[in-house]
Amino acid sequence: MKIAQLLEETSSQFAAAGIESSQADAEILLGFVLNLSRGEALAKAITGEEITDSDLDKFTELANKRAERFPLQHLTGVAHFRSLELVVGPGVFVPRFETEGVAQLAIDALRVLPRETPVAVDLATGSGAIALSISHEVSNAEVHAVELSEEALVYTRRNFEKYAPTADLRQGDLADAFSDIEGSVDVVISNPPYIPDEMIPIYPEVHLHDPALALYGGTDGLDLVRKVDLTAQRLLVKGGTLIIEHADMQGEAIRNILEASGWQQVRTHKDLAGRDRAVTALKL
């Protein structure tokens, strides 16, 4: 079968399954099977090349799983985040594009600090996407991260070994983490679970395959946000920055929580789609 025909048929299959990025997913999955970049795989389609029977069998098996709404990242084992290529799979939250902008808030805050070695903490690090982006892009930063789930840490540890082997990764509850560095941290950032317990996420990839521990945050979705608030208060230096990612409808509620706790200069930041995505605050 010609690769161009395969891509066309697979894209239609994915679109019929409700996958919005049907063409891109077909091309990425083909590149994975052929051990090529997406662009290289597409070039083979343009030049009229055919796929071998063995590669076709492998591709068809994976494409059928994707059509059943298995996350693309679980099939390839890779999630791209900023400049990183992270190992992911069942048991760890797949990092989202929107979080790249949240990570930028931490990177910007750290870069302007006069300290020779600014200190950052990532609470509920998941795959390590935020912490590792900070470590990779702010070379003088001291980075700490904590994750509760042993299933997630299977992937987190591999990502830290690849990108930041000397960074401090711990297993534990963010509520009582890092008692040994209290009062010395410049930036605390977190993308905590924030979906209300009774709410079902829209996308099957999320509610069927992302770990519940990384999704749900209590009756109003803000239980972990309240814990992040308290942990950040004891970790941050005076003038330190707190950054929390949240759902687009939670900005006001989180601002109210932080302002009631005494945080100053509490601000909401929008993502590239213009939706509320993160709150920042200063400890004064």
Query: Residue 212: what pLDDT?
Result: 81
φ and ψ at residue 15, rounded to 5 degrees: -65, -40
Pairing relationship of beta strands 78-81 and 84-87 according to DSSP bridges: antiparallel
The residue written with tokens 């100053």 in the block is: 264
Nearest alpha carbon to residue 245 among 171, 188, 283, 189:
189
Query: Residue 144: what pLDDT?
Result: 98
Query: Residue 175: what pLDDT?
Result: 97
As averages over each run of 10 residues, the pLDDT of the chain (284 residues) reads 95 96 96 95 92 96 96 96 97 95 98 96 98 97 97 98 97 97 98 86 79 85 96 98 96 97 97 96 96
Pairing relationship of beta strands 264-270 and 276-282 according to DSSP bridges: antiparallel
Sequence-distant (6+) residues with CB within 8 A of 78 are 85, 86, 87, 88
- Cβ-based neighbour number of residue 73 at 10 Å: 21
Q: Topology of domain 78-282, per CATH?
A: Rossmann fold (3.40.50)
CB 87 within 8 A of CB 128: no
pTM score, two decimals? 0.92
Query: Residue 106: what pLDDT?
Result: 98
Strands, E, within the chain: which ranges?
78-81, 84-87, 119-123, 142-147, 168-171, 185-190, 236-245, 264-270, 276-282
- Cβ-based neighbour number of residue 77 at 10 Å: 12
Nearest alpha carbon to residue 262 among 245, 276, 244, 238:
238
Query: Residue 150: what pLDDT?
Result: 96
C-alpha distance from residue 171 to each of 176, 187, 283 (Å): 11, 20, 26
